[in-house]
Amino acid sequence: MTGQDSERAEPTVVGDSRSTWRAGVGAHGERSRPKRGVPPAPEARAGAGHGWRAVAVVLVGAFMALLDTTIVTVALPSIRTGLHASPAALEWVVSAYALAYGLALVPAGRAGDRFGHKPLFLVGLTIFVLASAACGLAQNQSEIVAARIIQGMGAGIFYPAISATIQLTFSGARRSKAFGALGATIGGSIAVGPVLGGLIIAGAGTDHGWRWVFLVNVVIGAIALPMAAWQLPRSRSLIGRQFDPVGLCLLTAGLLLGLIPLVEGQQDGWPAWCGLSFGAAVIAFALLAWWEVRAERRGNDPLLKPSLLAETSFTAGALFAVAFFAGFTSVLFTISLLWQEGLARSALTTGLVVVPFSFASLISAAISDKLSARMGRMVLVAGCTMVAVGIALAALVIHLAAPLPSNWDLVGPLLLAGLGSGMVVAPNQDFVLARVPENEAGTAGAILGTAQRVGSAIGIAVIGTVLFANLQVQPGANAEAAAFSHSSQLALLANVAFVVVALLLVIALPRQIPPRR
């Protein structure tokens, strides 16, 4: 290897967290495999000026994709009123986006390696923008849920091209700077989402403001798409990646068969089909395991590599990602419904209430690499503990202040939980990948990105079920406030349970981040 090939790779982001890039790793996070007899075509790096313009364009895409994971939460009560949406539909508005987003990541990255990342970015962003318009124009709950599925798929298609563009455009210090800008964009988009959503609804009105939460993407996309076509560097890729459509279908089927009864079962009284669906999910995952083992033994390229999953620290880390993202991402879902539906406060007020969580997470994430270097695995223990304690304190404060907590009551608990989450999200990737062989590091990062999004979807499904199953309005003063306060406490305790599971899984991760094999 040359000096440039062997240099330490720069951190990238898959979903909401950083992955680790190495020389020769595909832009979506998987080891590149050139076609036999065909030398890989070199990717020409753009000049400094052109390169930063290209990076600026893809960062707009990153901002849009991740903004939509948080901005929608404050719009849920308005969507419920405007479309007469059921509680299950509100859960699908959030979880369907996350699930489609996560499932699209790995196959879209492989397609980018084969066909080039610029076309994938343009196609994915176009789908995302058109689906955003469909969300904003939806006339009923079925239309908005369908549009959110397509929107999430579009985000998952174009997102791998963001890291790829940075990876292929810059090297050395400039690449580090570009990835730093990506991390700041991700943190900023998640932090400002609730407040921006509240401002849009306050400005456009509660009746139709939720529509502009989605339609704003059309305005941004109308500028970003032509700029991307103009500024993104052309690239041709001769990397022959195999697709695993059977594996993807089995994974999707298993997740849907598990999520559908979680979301729909409670409002239908848990009919017999729920048990049948859970059983079918187990069968689908068993078939997935059989298929992936069979594919790897035959020398194919499975979606989920069994040899990777055989590494205890990696499997525990992937499960950690599912549990932790299920535990902390759905907190905003509960608070939004409590504050607006239960306490009859505005979307803007709701957005401001969760500001301590968002910005504390952004601040601690900025120093998480230093903390992990000093504390080792204990940074994950400390972070998970802070998140669990913070959410538990939020539940306690709501209980003590019920039925009408003030807008200031959650500042301390959410600040603590936010600081903890920022300490966990970024370092987790490094610890999970610590014992993964170097030639599998990219694939592992892609799987973890999917695990994060799947965890978010599962979290919304479970927390939403707990919230609405325990929502019983009794006659009396402040009846709705009292009912939502009670059910929100139980939902937040379910969040704590998810985080505790993640905390227990930390013991399977290495104490320190060892050198890669």
Q: How confident is the model at residue 433 (pLDDT cuts 50, 70, 90)?
A: low
**Is it the case that residue 512 has pLDDT exceeding 90?**
no
Return the C-alpha torsion angle 201, 206, 208, 213, nearest 10.
30
What does the radius of gyration of the chain's CA atoms come to, in whole angstroms? 22
At 406-418, the pLDDT tens digits run: 999 999 999 999 9
Per the CB < 8 A criterion, the answer to whether 239 and 168 are in contact is: no
Nearest to 177 by CA among 300, 77, 5, 52: 52
**Is it the case that residue 42 has pLDDT exceeding 90?**
no
Other CB atoms within 10 Å distance of the CB of residue 500:
17
**Is it the case that residue 145 has pLDDT exceeding 50?**
yes
Taking the C-alpha atoms of residue 410 and residue 400, their distance in angstroms, rounded to an integer, is 12
Helix (H, G, I), strand (E, B) or coil at 245: helix
Tokens of 446: 């892609």
Residue 329 has a pLDDT of: 85
Return the C-alpha torsion angle 354, 155, 422, 359, nearest 10.
-40
Residue 517 has a pLDDT of: 52
- Whether a cis peptide bond, with omega within 30° of 0, leads into 475 is no
**Is it the case that residue 204 has pLDDT exceeding 50?**
yes
Q: Is the C-alpha dihedral spanning 269, 333, 384, 325 positive or negative?
A: positive
Residue 25 has a pLDDT of: 39
Backbone angles phi, psi at 507, to 5 degrees: -65, -20
Report which residue type is found at 62.
A
Residue 437 has a pLDDT of: 67
Per the CB < 8 A criterion, the answer to whether 448 and 432 are in contact is: yes
Per the CB < 8 A criterion, the answer to whether 129 and 150 are in contact is: no
Ranges 21-35, 63-77, 143-157: which has the least confidence: 21-35
At 450-496, the pLDDT tens digits run: 888 899 999 999 999 999 999 888 787 788 899 999 999 999 999 99
Q: How confident is the model at residue 2 (pLDDT cuts 50, 70, 90)?
A: very low
**Is it the case that residue 449 has pLDDT exceeding 70?**
yes
Q: pTM value? A: 0.82
Residue 288 has a pLDDT of: 93
Residue 90 has a pLDDT of: 92
Looking at every residue in the chain, the average pLDDT score rounds to 82
Distances in Å between the alpha carbon of 129 and those of 39, 101, 105, 221?
37, 14, 18, 6
Per the CB < 8 A criterion, the answer to whether 333 and 461 are in contact is: no
Ranges 20-29, 122-131, 357-366, 375-384: which has the least confidence: 20-29
**Is it the case that residue 154 has pLDDT exceeding 80?**
yes
- Mean pLDDT for the stretch of residues 156-171: 80
Taking the C-alpha atoms of residue 121 and residue 155, their distance in angstroms, rounded to an integer, is 9
Taking the C-alpha atoms of residue 20 and residue 8, their distance in angstroms, rounded to an integer, is 10
Residue 436 has a pLDDT of: 67
Cβ neighbours of residue 95 closer than 8 Å, sequence gap 6 or more: 259, 263, 456, 457, 458, 460, 461, 464
Tokens of 104: 């699209």
Nearest to 89 by CA among 228, 264, 226, 223: 264
Q: How confident is the model at residue 509 (pLDDT cuts 50, 70, 90)?
A: confident
